[in-house]
Structure 1
Amino acid sequence: MATGRTHRPATRSRGIPEATVARLPLYLRALTALSERSVPTVSSEELAAAAGVNSAKLRKDFSYLGSYGTRGVGYDVEYLVYQISRELGLTQDWPVVIVGIGNLGAALANYGGFASRGFRVAALIDADPNMAGKPVAGIPVQHTDELERIIQDNGVSIGVIATPAGAAQQVCDRLVAAGVTSILNFAPTVLSVPDGVDVRKVDLSIELQILAFHEQRKAGEEAAGEAAVPAAAGRGDSADQGPDGDVPAVMPA
């Protein structure tokens, strides 16, 4: 089976928009769930609802893949799973290294979904000498002194950084220098990389802060609505009328 170093996804060369690429994993997750339930076909409306997008956007996204479904029947689930998996490069083996085996790194190592989605954790790497040799998820942790050799020996092109923020850029630089061209960054910092290297940042605190913003806004809207109801009730119908019973051109505040 091919390794990640010699094969790259074809999405960019085929002109698929980045926004569409970002939605393909959502479709694949929904389709995989349907496949596991032995559902043979699915309509664009059903699949769009399962993926959390509107059906028009889904049909547009699938048109970039050359898949248009069959009127009255829908999309073939198994074929779409294969088609999207191939487009995302998941029909081949992608060896991955995880650097930083603290609580988060260990949790990532123990995640069982990598193998079923085309990724193989080739190595776990940590700077702590006391961690060397200790098994995590059945894989012995190796010291960062071995990073370059590990990448070369395993043909790794995808690295996961789960280190503290202060160490992340140095780790990133070493990964890139050793040949890694795609990085998933869990460290709470922005990484600087050269052209040709892709970085995806996952910051759980930022996501929680965004949710807190929405919660605050919803609470404010509810409070404003509750305050408005008694005020309107106290005025009665006559409060909205002029001296002759007509509704004034400018409503009272």
Structure 2
Amino acid sequence: MTRTRSTRRVLAATDGLALLLVGVTACAGASAGDDEHPDQRTFALSGRTLTIDSDDSALEVVAADSNPAGKIEVTRWWQGSVAIGSDPKATWAMKGDRLVLRLKCSGVIADCAAKHRIEVPRGVSVKVEDGDGSVRTRGFKDALSVRTGDGSVRVTDSTGPLTLHTGDGSVHAEVSSREVHTTTSDGSVHLEFGVVPDLVESRSGDGSVTVALPKGAAKYRVTTRTGDGGVDVSVPRDSSSSHVVSARTSDGKVTVRNAN
């Protein structure tokens, strides 16, 4: 049987689509952890504040005693492929007190991933702005602010004031900070304190909120609210206390208890 011209066109398009799907499967799932030869670079920091400006990367930010004053150490892992389009590229630059991290990955069947570890000397206040990616931090005695559009936030071993926000992801902090503010539009919040805090404000649009406070003689002025879920407050309460805890969620359980 002779194939018509239109039939041949359909078959050619189908074959092309099949090859395209094979290409998608072949390059999908890039992982920055697969980079066995990460790049390293040192940046100079003149002041005592640092803003980390990232568009698309998982971030680990660490306060390091080994870092000399005025030096930021950055390690970068990344992988990327683009079937049709410009080659992917990861860039980094220090602009004043702002460390700018960019991942350029666009085209047909683009698949890229990046991860950065940033070591910051003690005595520097840090602000993290990440468009898309999880953020992990530890060891900060000075003020720390973290904002990510999509990804979880985790903070440990820190004593300075904290402001933590994610548009979509969980927030987890195990700290000895006196003042903590957290918000997430969609995700759970778990805060555990090693010292009695002065002010805790925690909000979730959709997820449970748990605040674990030190055992002892302290009493707390606690306010809670949930649109759909239970409330369990088991710490000593005093409406005139200077230790204020506010925990709210639109959908989920609110728990304020003593730490284990």
Larger Rg: 1 or 2?
1
By the TM > 0.5 criterion, same fold? no
More helix by share: 1
Higher strand share: 2
